[in-house]
Amino acid sequence: MAVNENLLVLWNIDLTLVDVARVTRAAYAEAFAKVVGRPLVQLPQMAGRSESEIFFDALALNDADMSAAADALLEPFSGELSAAMQARHDQLVTQGQLMPGAADALKAVSGQGSVVQSVLTGTSRANAVLKLTAFNLDGFVDFEIGGYGDEVFPRGTLLQVIRQRAETKYGSGFDEVSTVYIADSVRDVAAAALGGARSVAVASGRSSAAELREAGAETVLPDLTDTAALLRILISG
């Protein structure tokens, strides 16, 4: 089984490939307290959201009246969050886990000679590299062309930016049929539609299979354990 034409496969990271929520929450709390000067009591919904969105919502949820300074706090918060995550590198594996089938799925897709794999994620580039490296998944994706939560574009627009980066680097065009976004939230499904990509939703996160279908996902998988089925889906496009 092999993909005969060029294909750009983009992966969400959290709850699609890895589950490091426990470590991430601790890092968020540490970074928030350092930058804002008060404890993080409530953490906003994180599924399908960028680190900047989560930070601004956390300010509101935790009654941190810093509207005038919020934008100025974002950059130091991002730096503190990266440092807090890096300090917890070993905990990513001991307190986190690979999602079922994730490693085999990445390996199987990378075995298709005409496929380029990267990431489209709400996490920053530094934290994306950290998370995938911790689980030895970094060799399967091209981080250079990926899209990250510390970029200024909305995720739908960012998908189009990734496509342009891939076309520039690989000298090959990727259209709406040959671009696939594999992710776990309804917001990710919406981003695929806005950015012009096929959506393969995985019901491994906070969104149910029914919610993912209702959001418009073309295909919904319970998890990533059936690599043969995943390859058939990619080829069918």
Q: Tally the residues of the chain.
A: 237
Residue where one domain finishes, among candidates 51, 75, 93:
93
pLDDT band for position 4 (cuts 50, 70, 90)? very low
Q: Is the same domain home to 141 and 115?
A: yes
How many folded domains does the chain comprise? 2
pLDDT attached to residue 1: 37
Of 233, 168, 157, 164, the closest CA to residue 198 belongs to 233
Six-digit token string for 131: 């998370």
pLDDT of residue 96: 97
Q: Which residue has the higher pLDDT, 119 or 156?
A: 119
CB 116 within 8 A of CB 166: yes
Kindly state whether residue 2 falls inside one of the protein's structural domains.
Answer: no
Note whether 165 and 27 are within 8 A (CB).
Answer: no
**160 plus 225 within the same structural domain:** yes
Report which of residues 64 and 200 the model is more confident about. Answer: 200
- Indicate which CATH number applies to the domain containing 232: 3.40.50.1000
The conformational region for residue 184 under phi > 0 = left, psi -120 to 50 = alpha, else beta, is alpha
Whether residues 232 and 120 fall in one domain: yes
Domain that holds residue 54: 21-93
CA atoms within 13 A on the CB side of 138: 14
Percent of the residues in the chain that have a pLDDT greater than 70, as a whole number: 95
- Quick one: angle between helices 227-236 and 102-110, nearest 10? 40
Q: Is the pLDDT of residue 61 over 50?
A: yes
Q: Assign residue 37 a region: left if phi > 0, alpha if psi is -120 to 50, beta otherwise?
A: left
- Are 105 and 217 within one domain? yes
Q: What percent of the chain shows pLDDT beyond 90?
A: 71
Predicted confidence at residue 237, as pLDDT, reads: 63
Q: What is the mean pLDDT of the chain?
A: 91
Distances (CA, A) of 146 to 94, 141, 166, 172: 27, 9, 9, 16
E strand or H helix at 123: none
Q: Which region among 1-5, 47-51, 72-76, 137-141 has the lowest average model confidence (pLDDT)?
A: 1-5
Q: Give the pTM.
A: 0.92
Please report the pLDDT score of residue 68 as a whole number.
57
Residue 152: name the closest of 82, 78, 64 by CA: 78
Rounded distance, CA 221 to CA 181, Å?
Answer: 13
